[in-house]
Amino acid sequence: MQEIKQCGAQGDVLFRRVPTIPKDATEQKDKGPVIVAHSETGHHHTIAQAEAKLFTSADPFVCYLRLAGEHADVVHHRPHDTHETLRLVGERKGGACFEVRRQREHTPEGWRMVQD
């Protein structure tokens, strides 16, 4: 398991520590695991810990995470050729914010998300 304190990637998803979550980001009230990045094939990047909260932004390629605990583990759900689990590390007393960016590529039709 790789520990991420500042910046790290899991396949097509980049996690970057930020000081705060923007005021215009919207908290998601979903129950169950936090799906950080959806996959068309069901191989989502998820966090099971309840202490992680997901916030969406106006940019479909960017969302944010707020950790209330010391860490949160991002798991890639695929039985083969999977990405290593990432542990996002917060402060010893708990808490941290991360920006989550999806990789994008340009096609003749415009920008689209990279799917892994």
Can you give the pLDDT at residue 113? 54
The kind and range of the H/E element at 36 are strand 34-37
Q: What is the pLDDT of residue 98?
A: 93
Which of left, alpha, beta for 115 (phi over 0: left; psi -120 to 50: alpha)? beta
The pLDDT value recorded for residue 85 is 83
Please report the pLDDT score of residue 114 as a whole number: 54
Domain ranges for the chain, please list them. Answer: 2-104
**What pLDDT, in 10s, does the model give residues 39-90?**
666 567 778 777 788 999 998 889 999 988 888 888 877 655 567 788 888 8
Per-residue pLDDT tens for 86-111? 888 888 777 899 999 987 555 567 65
pTM of the complete model: 0.80
User: What is the spatial distance between Cα 106 and Cα 6, in angstroms, rounded to a whole number?
Assistant: 27
Decide if 34 contacts 52 (C-beta within 8 A): yes
Block residue for tokens 């979903």: 30
Query: What's the CA dihedral at 106, 108, 111, 114 to 10 degrees?
Result: -60
- Torsion sign, CA atoms 92, 94, 97, 103: positive
Q: How many CB atoms lie within 10 A of CB 11?
A: 20
